[in-house]
Amino acid sequence: MKTSYLLLVLLVSAKALSQCPVYGPNLIPNPSFELTNAFCTGTDNQLYVDQSPVQNWIGTDPLSSGGSTPDITRNDATVCGSIVNAANNTCFTGTKKLGLFVYTSSSGREYIQAQLTSNLVAGRTYCFSMDVRSRYGAAGNVLLNTDGIGAHFRNSGAINIQTMNGGNQFLGPGSTINATPQVQQPAGIVITNACTTVTGTFVAAGGESRIVIGNFRNNASTTLSGAGSSAYMYVDNLTLYEVNPLPIELLSFNATCAEEKVQLVWTTESERDNDFFTIEKSCDGFSFEKVATIPGAGNSSVTQHYSLPDPQPCHGTGYYRLSQTDYNGNREVFDLVTVSCGNATEALLYPNPASTSFSLMGNLNAKDQLQLFSSNGELVRDFSNQLEGAKTMLTVDVRGISPGVYLLRLAGEGSDPIIYKLAIQQ
């Protein structure tokens, strides 16, 4: 930092941990700032846009300007970085962290920025987190605390606050970047000398390639507490992960009868590490057997179309289940599709959804089992005794059954079971 301000303090705090679920690589390069370079000699510990002692990370002011710049700090015996005393020696992951001014009474700001290891993909959800704390005075006194810190992800090049100033990007020389951070500390909750994890999720617009960290609120919108005219924060342990990405995005899965066989077709919008698909068939809705496996596309961001014929369809209603297995052996199962081929006669189920009762209308002769199952196959209610004497019409009371989607199984000796999907609502 070129502007000189008083530093340091006395405190004890517990290390805050990242709040993001881990899936795939961390998209933040050098996330704890441990990797340095030949400029890290202890002579100049500041990050400029065109020179930096930290690998991958730069500031927003050029070396030749008179602006304000962030710093690399340390808590070890090396010469690389500004040493912090015991008062500020917390919230370290390793031996280095970055420090920056996030508020001055004259609207001064410092920012750090880096290029992500890969661009963000439109429509996907990401989780970002960073560990931060405010710096206190050498005598343990409270300096100025604020809520002013956040992370902005952008799809443009590195910010040079001098050459880009004068447009809509900045409010003034060396001051607030006019951008909306995707993740920032909640308004009104100031960050003290206690280790704090600033975290949040966001959906990418697509193509975001850089991260910028600092205070994106103007002075009027920044909450303050404590004494002084400036606020300085330490930042460490950055993470950016995609949140629970699905191995595939399935657009459709359908089954149709054609020339005494069932034609199965499905379409994916995207695939991630998709090894193969498995198609299974059931003639009763409960016991499934494998029909075939079909290789997946691996990794794909374009629409993929698949088809498979089943030359031996069920007599009556057939139930087909599609699942996907990735390279790690993880499996995802999708919803069933049903298809009726041949001349099998089924009883009509209505109304569906049902609130107080449902009715079956059709040929109920020789039917002696009527059972309601949950989606995971557990028997919920047995209505079989109500079939006695029913020939063409039966009404069943479902009051007292929890709302949800169930499987209703109608069976009789000498014929394939008929399975209905029945929704019950209050």
How confident is the model over 112-156, as pLDDT tens digits? 999 999 999 888 889 999 999 998 876 556 679 999 999 999 998
Q: What is the pLDDT of residue 202?
A: 95
Collapsing DSSP to helix, strand or coil, 86 comes out as helix
What tokens appear for 276 in the block? Answer: 């193969």
Please determine, for residue 93, whether its predicted confidence score (pLDDT) is greater than 90. Answer: no
What 3-state class would DSSP assign to 384?
A: helix
CB 364 within 8 A of CB 387: yes
Exposure b/e, 21-58, CB count within 10 A at least 16 = b: eeeeeebbbbbbbeebeebbeeebbbbbbebbbbebbb
Task: Measure the CA–CA gap between 277 and 292, rounded to whole angstroms.
Answer: 8
Tokens standing for 57? 């990370």
Q: Of the given ranges (169-178, 202-211, 225-234), which has the lowest mean pLDDT? A: 169-178
**Quick count: other Cβ atoms within 10 Å of Cβ 275?**
18
3-class SS of residue 221: helix
**In whole angstroms, what is the distance from residue 58 CA to residue 71 CA?**
10
Contact yes or no for 407/369 (Cβ under 8 A): no
345's CB contacts (< 8 A; 6+ apart) are: 362, 363
Q: Chain-centre distance of CA 107, in angstroms?
A: 34
Q: Which domains does the chain have, with CATH numbers?
A: 57-242 (2.60.120.680), 248-341 (2.60.40.10), 348-424 (2.60.40)
User: Considering the entire predicted model, what is its pTM?
Assistant: 0.60
Q: Closest by alpha carbon to 144, among 42, 23, 226?
A: 226
Percentage of residues in the chain with pLDDT exceeding 70? 88
Mean pLDDT confidence for 317-337: 88
pLDDT, tens only, 147-192? 999 999 999 889 988 777 544 455 555 567 888 999 999 999 999 9
Cα dihedral across residues 101, 102, 108, 111: positive or negative: positive
